[in-house]
A and B are shown apart, each in its own frame.
Chain A
């Protein structure tokens, strides 16, 4: 039982490049989340998926797209990376009706 896994762990992009961050969970959780963490800002919600087949915007969705590929996988795509998207990205999941979230180890993204 690996919990929540994220790939890659580290990534450096040039401005304008695109990439997809991958997230998978093996706990049969219904809801999945993408957050970004910046120094002194805590975690900010980018997008979430309440259940398979649905996605909704969070607090800071601009510049990102998501895909809930199936119940296990929830990917985050940066179509045209900008330096302002330099951050640590966390994926999380939770089971329906339970508020506790389980987090992945994070992806450290630098955009130059």
Chain B
């Protein structure tokens, strides 16, 4: 069963706009990660936020985590056509080796 569920499933925006993707999960976590997958490629790690953090930034990426609501959001500011990809949230548990991935959000940025 999937741990993380992304919302929306697909998102289409204009270049320069902000893109927000949400992720909900079911069980307690140690950390939550976001990955990007370009078409036909493997996943690339973007950012990790730990359960004791509420917000984290990396370049144009901003991630928030609300453990009370078991949810996270990924904001991409000033999007570019090159940001077109699928984005996945993934959750990790304390002391565990498994990472559980959601079904992903497909982002299309129109130039």
B98 in contact with A101 (CB, 8 Å): no
A42 in contact with B101 (CB, 8 Å): yes
Contact partners of A45 in chain B: CB under 8 A = 98-100
A43 in contact with B92 (CB, 8 Å): no
Contact partners of A92 in chain B: CB under 8 A = 42-43
A53 within 8 A of B: no
Contact partners of B103 in chain A: CB under 8 A = 40-42
B residues near A (Cβ < 8 Å) are: 1-2, 4, 9, 30-31, 33, 40-45, 48, 88, 92, 97-104
Contact partners of B2 in chain A: CB under 8 A = 41-42
For A58, give the chain B residue with the smallest CB separation. Answer: B98
Q: Chain A: interface secondary structure?
A: strand
A1-24 contact mask (Cβ, 8 Å, vs B): 1 or 0: 000100000000000000000000
B104 in contact with A103 (CB, 8 Å): no
Least distance between B69 CB and chain A CB atoms (Å): 21
Least distance between B30 CB and chain A CB atoms (Å): 8
- Pairs across A and B, CB under 8 Å, 12 listed: A40-B9, A41-B2, A42-B2, A45-B98, A48-B98, A90-B42, A92-B43, A99-B92, A101-B99, A102-B45, A105-B42, A106-B42
A25 within 8 A of B: no
A31 within 8 A of B: yes
A30-70 contact mask (Cβ, 8 Å, vs B): 1 or 0: 01010100001111110010100000101100000000000
Least distance between B70 CB and chain A CB atoms (Å): 17
CA separation between A43 and B98, bound complex, in Å?
Answer: 12
For A31, give the chain B residue with the smallest CB separation. Answer: B97
Least distance between A46 CB and chain B CB atoms (Å): 11
CA separation between A67 and B43, bound complex, in Å?
Answer: 23
With A42-B2, A42-B88, A43-B88 already in contact, the answer to whether A103 and B43 are too (CB < 8 A) is yes
Contact partners of A56 in chain B: CB under 8 A = 97
CA separation between A90 and B43, bound complex, in Å?
Answer: 9
With A43-B43, A105-B42 already in contact, the answer to whether A100 and B48 are too (CB < 8 A) is yes
